[in-house]
Amino acid sequence: MRILVTGANGLLGRKLTSLIQKANVAELMSATRASLDVTDLLQLRSAVQSFKPDVIINAAAMTQVDQCEQQRDECWKQNVGSVKNLVDVCNNGAVHLIHVSTDFVFNGKEGPLDESAVPDPVNFYGESKLEGERVILDSKVPAAIVRTVLVYGVTSDMSRSNIVLWVKKNLEEKKPIKVVSDQFRTPTLAEDLAMGCVLAAKKKATGIYHISGYEMMTPYDIAMKTADFFGLDKTLISSVTDFVQPAKRPLKTGFIIDKAKRELRYQPHSFMDGLAIVKQQLLELSLQ
């Protein structure tokens, strides 16, 4: 099997390339932002014609929610235009597509949610990701849409932080932090999401799959557990509700992952086990 991973310079992309290489499950082509712009159809066609992948795992997206709200044209270009390009090259080359989406396609009125839940996004990021899903579902491309929730983890040369690393860094620097306590998620270890994508690729799965952790928590819960695990001062953490941000957030999402467990044999780590993995990787990075 030949797999092309787009967005390979991000956290998920790096975990995907590492997993595929270690497991020796496929010949791999990693497409970083510097080497391949998936919003450029000609570049994408050239890469696909050259590598001839059996599967494309699309981990490329604009995911900064507030930035998406403020830079809508760029958001649409990256989250919808690129998907149209991927559908184009998959149609022409009979390539199987694994596309990563988000819990932010939902309105947050209830959760956890399974794959039958009706999307209704409350911000532009969610709208763009839902439209990307529709582009795929309206096409004839064999594809799996992998929705996920609040991904955390660590890798070298990270361009963006995530909630676990943000909490850890600020508390280590003795900085007080405010964390929302009225939003509910099922946080996802990056390794687990990568495994879910690879399992879908190996199975050539089609349809929608919810891939996340299984523990429903608020960001405040996550911060407190992170502080406890790393032995940091959790008195620096205060909870807030109705936190005002440029883009509205769904209050309650989180996923029911029974379908992924049943059909893909997906088994995520517990949140505490995920923190242990992050701790070990941080130690290894510090020794390099």
**Cα-trace Rg, the chain:** 18
- CA distances 43 to 35, 48, 87, 141, Å, are 9, 9, 14, 20
Other Cβ atoms closer than 10 A to 270: 12
Which residues are registered as beta bridge partners of 178? 238
Angstrom distance (rounded) from CA 119 to CA 107: 7
125 is catalytic: yes
Residue with tokens 């996920």: 148
The DSSP annotation for 106-157 comes to S-SBS-SB-TTSPP--SSHHHHHHHHHHHHHHTS---EEEEEE--EE---TT
Residues 6+ apart with CB under 8 A from 177: 166, 167, 170, 171, 223, 236, 237, 238
- Within the chain, residue ranges assigned H as helices are 11-23, 41-51, 65-70, 72-76, 82-93, 124-137, 163-172, 190-203, 219-230, 258-264, 271-286
Residues with catalytic roles: 125
